[in-house]
A and B are shown apart, each in its own frame.
Chain A
């Protein structure tokens, strides 16, 4: 446990969900692909083994004591397991190289094997399961492990280039639904693998963002699939978080109907608005600006951004977890991440004192 805290993350999160008092607001800055920065390692090294992945997350937790470790199954994990290829850059995130499908009608030509995502069939999955187990073996008693994985719509965009996916959703919606169903079955298996070892899936669906599709399309092509995944997680005894990047303001109500246990929004969204729409239904997570504040700002900017967020959401009825709006950019100075943690410990200590935020 971090020397400046009075509770472990597990105790704190438990208290928040139970509506009981705790020492400070939980914080979940997205220390995801950023974690190897703590050990001065590259992204490729971080992707190389379960040991490396766990070592980075453990080192980050030991340094900062934030309220979750994160194993990055990656948003491309599902399409990669199903047959798309990805790049292996030294110090950036992998991107899809060759999409499995060239045309949406190819969905009918492939002999789909959803079990390809299972750990016995996919070395990437196996490595991430092992990394999760290592993190939980070491610190599972005090802090949980979240898993980033894609929603069906984002997974589909890793199998079929996104412009084709978007066009097809108008011209051949039934074919798109076929593809989404396949992706969703795979996503459910991924959730199952991680829930079995005691981790919490955190579903991210950037391609279903409000900057790309509108609400009615979201309700047709994304929400039903996501609802199915979250119900599945709950049915097998797991929890689930939900995040969509970018401006999701107009999707807030729909996202809150997904059945997730926690809702995370990016910095393009006003937290007080989200609080008004669904703060009485579920805990909110957000949303210090990853770029303007964490990457390009300084300590003062970070404190200012934390204060703004606190003012907007500290009294959200089901709880509030202070976080960055999305993954911390790799070039962000490590002192800025230090400042984030310091800022939360200073400004969000119980009892909360709004006078400190002026």
Chain B
């Protein structure tokens, strides 16, 4: 007997939580073949699984490696299900985030985790990568009409670049339209306040709540 929609959604959820980036593809195909709705599979299966993964990360049950592997499963599943979304079933009017690691720093694991978490939470992400020239944050924010600019760094030498980006947003005349959030191990709430960033989060899970609050989603 064919599996019910609920059973398959549960399987999708488990594939993400259990980091099964190959099995998830089979389950997605089975789910589509049975004619079930792609949007529900994404939201109640894959995304719910990723949210569980971030909960486990928050509880120190999962570590960076686990979250990376869960996200591999998430993305593998999304690739199958996304093309089957109905036109009106996009994730709604998503808030846009420009994210990157500031110039001079090539460590991007933290940034990648934040990107995954925000993407899972429904934000539209524009990832500039690592070692990003400061002007690029401003240009991209203008180009896509971003709601948030998110910057990260691991290096103390590059922290001051974050303040420079905020000044540049001001000069470009878009400071009042965009919120700034910062993170990375040397960054503190105090530093965020000093440079005038509205948001600071100590880790990738907290970043979701901070971002939502900044754009008035919660």
Pick the contact of B65: A87, A213, A295 (CB < 8 A): A213
Asked if A163 meets B112 with Cβ closer than 8 Å, knowing A213-B64, A217-B65, A329-B157, the reply is yes
Contact yes or no, A329 B63, CB < 8 A: no
The reply to whether the CB of A167 lies closer than 8 angstroms to some CB of chain B is yes
Chain A residues with CB under 8 A of B131: 95
Complex Cα distance A296/B160, Å?
Answer: 12
Contact yes or no, B188 A212, CB < 8 A: no
By secondary structure, the A interface counts as: loop
Chain B contact residues (Cβ within 8 angstroms of A): what range?
20 to 34
Contact yes or no, A92 B157, CB < 8 A: yes
Pick the contact of B191: A89, A166, A296 (CB < 8 A): A296
Chain A residues with CB under 8 A of B157: 91-93, 329-331
Chain A residues with CB under 8 A of B69: 167, 170
Task: Map CB proximity to B onto A272-300 as digits: 1 under 8 Å, 0 otherwise.
Answer: 00000000000000000011100110000
Contact yes or no, B156 A290, CB < 8 A: yes
Task: Map CB proximity to B onto A319-344 as digits: 1 under 8 Å, 0 otherwise.
Answer: 00000000001110000000000000
The reply to whether the CB of B186 lies closer than 8 angstroms to some CB of chain A is yes
Contact yes or no, B156 A167, CB < 8 A: no
CB distance from A297 to the nearest CB of B (A): 10
Chain A residues with CB under 8 A of B51: none
Contact yes or no, B160 A331, CB < 8 A: yes
The reply to whether the CB of A246 lies closer than 8 angstroms to some CB of chain B is yes
The reply to whether the CB of A211 lies closer than 8 angstroms to some CB of chain B is yes
Chain A residues with CB under 8 A of B109: 162-163, 166, 212
Task: Map CB proximity to A onto B56-98 as digits: 1 under 8 Å, 0 otherwise.
Answer: 0000000111001100100000000000000000000000000
Chain B residues with CB under 8 A of A95: 105-106, 131
Chain B residues with CB under 8 A of A170: 19, 65, 69
The reply to whether the CB of B32 lies closer than 8 angstroms to some CB of chain A is no
Task: Map CB proximity to A onto B156-181 as digits: 1 under 8 Å, 0 otherwise.
Answer: 11111000000000000000000000
**What total of chain A residues lie within 8 Å of the partner, measured CB to CB?**
27
Complex Cα distance A166/B110, Å?
Answer: 13
CB distance from B111 to the nearest CB of A (A): 11
Contact yes or no, B64 A212, CB < 8 A: yes
Chain B residues with CB under 8 A of A330: 156-157
Pick the contact of B155: A93, A163, A217, A292 (CB < 8 A): A93
Chain A residues with CB under 8 A of B107: 162
Contact yes or no, A292 B190, CB < 8 A: yes
Task: Map CB proximity to B onto A78-107 as digits: 1 under 8 Å, 0 otherwise.
Answer: 000000000101011101100000000000
Contact yes or no, B64 A166, CB < 8 A: yes
The reply to whether the CB of B104 lies closer than 8 angstroms to some CB of chain A is yes
Contact yes or no, B68 A167, CB < 8 A: yes
The reply to whether the CB of B37 lies closer than 8 angstroms to some CB of chain A is no
The reply to whether the CB of A6 lies closer than 8 angstroms to some CB of chain B is no
Contact yes or no, B68 A291, CB < 8 A: no
Which chain B residue lies CB-closest to A169? B65
Pick the contact of A213: B63, B112, B155, B160 (CB < 8 A): B63
Complex Cα distance A290/B157, Å?
Answer: 12
The reply to whether the CB of A214 lies closer than 8 angstroms to some CB of chain B is yes
Which chain B residue lies CB-closest to A91? B157
CB distance from B18 to the nearest CB of A (A): 12
Complex Cα distance A63/B48, Å?
Answer: 58
CB distance from B213 to the nearest CB of A (A): 24
Which chain A residue lies CB-closest to B159? A331
Contact yes or no, A167 B106, CB < 8 A: no
Chain A residues with CB under 8 A of B185: 211, 246
Contact yes or no, B68 A331, CB < 8 A: no
Complex Cα distance A89/B106, Å?
Answer: 12
Find residues 159-196 in chain A having any chain B CB closer than 8 Å to their own CB: 162-163, 166-167, 169-170
Chain A residues with CB under 8 A of B63: 212-214, 217
Which chain B residue lies CB-closest to A292? B188
Which chain A residue lies CB-closest to B65? A166
Chain B residues with CB under 8 A of A217: 63, 65
Task: Map CB proximity to A onto B96-120 as digits: 1 under 8 Å, 0 otherwise.
Answer: 0000000011110100100000000
11 contacts between A and B (CB under 8 A): A91-B157, A92-B104, A162-B109, A163-B109, A166-B65, A170-B19, A170-B65, A212-B63, A212-B64, A290-B156, A329-B156
Q: A162-B107, A331-B159 are in contact. List 12 more A-B contacts (CB 8 A).
A: A95-B106, A95-B131, A167-B65, A167-B68, A211-B185, A213-B65, A290-B186, A291-B156, A292-B188, A292-B190, A296-B190, A329-B186
10 closest A-B pairs by beta carbon, nearest first, are A329-B156, A95-B106, A166-B65, A92-B157, A291-B186, A214-B63, A330-B157, A212-B64, A92-B104, A163-B68
